[in-house]
Structure 1
Amino acid sequence: MSKTASGWERYGSRISGGWRGFVGYFEGVMGADAYRRYLEHQQRTHPDAEPLGERAFWRDHMDWQDKNPQGRCC
C-alpha cells in the first residue's frame, strides 16, 4: 500500500480548496466578512475594549452606509 494520496484524493482536495477560495472571495466582494474583519481589527488595535455584538455591528454598518452612500449596485 502506498502512503501517497490517490489521484481522486488529490483531485478532491484541489476542488475543496478552490471552492473555499471562491467562497472567501465572494464573501469579501459582497461584504459578508465585514464583521469578522471588524473583530480582527478590534482585537489588534483595541484588545481591552468590548467589541460590538454582530447584530449591533450590522445595524451600525447599515446606518453608516445610508449616511455615506457610495457606488454600489443596490
Structure 2
Amino acid sequence: MSRAGALAAAPRRAAAWLWWYLTELTGENAYARYVARARGADPAAPVASRREFERERVERRYADPRNGPGGGCC
C-alpha cells in the first residue's frame, strides 16, 4: 500500500475502532456474542430473541445481591 493509501485508510480504521469500542462499552455486542456462542455449541438449539436476552440480562444485573454472586447493581 502506498503512503497516500495508508493515510487515506487511517481515518477509516480509527472510525471502525471507535465504533467497536463504543459498542463493547455499551454492551451492544453482547447479543451478537450470545448468538454466536449458542449457534456454535448447537446449531439446532433455539436462540432467545433480542428482547428475551436483554430482559434476562437486566434481571441478572439487578437481582437481589443476597441471592449470590453477580447480583446487585454495583
> Residue 37 of structure 2 corresponds to which residue in structure 1?
41
> Residue 72 of structure 2 corresponds to which residue in structure 1?
69
1:46 and 1:18 mapped to 2: Cα distance? 35
1:66 and 1:33 mapped to 2: Cα distance? 20
1:55 and 1:16 mapped to 2: Cα distance? 32
Tell me if the contact between 2:62 and 2:73 (Cα under 8 Å) persists in the aligned partners.
no
Scaled by the length of structure 2, the TM-score of the pair is: 0.73
1:14 and 1:70 mapped to 2: Cα distance? 39
> Residue 56 of structure 2 corresponds to which residue in structure 1?
60
> Residue 24 of structure 1 corresponds to which residue in structure 2?
20
**Number of aligned pairs?**
67
Partner secondary structure for residue 28 of structure 1: helix
Scaled by the length of structure 1, the TM-score of the pair is: 0.73
Deviation of 1:70 (Å): 5.1
Deviation of 1:5 (Å): 6.1
Q: Identity of counterpart residues, as a percentage? A: 16
Structure 1 unaligned runs (5+)?
none
Give me the CA root mean square deviation: 1.9
CA distances 1:5-53 after superposition (whole Å, capped 9, x unpaired): 682x543321111111111112112211100110111111122111011
1:70 and 1:21 mapped to 2: Cα distance? 29
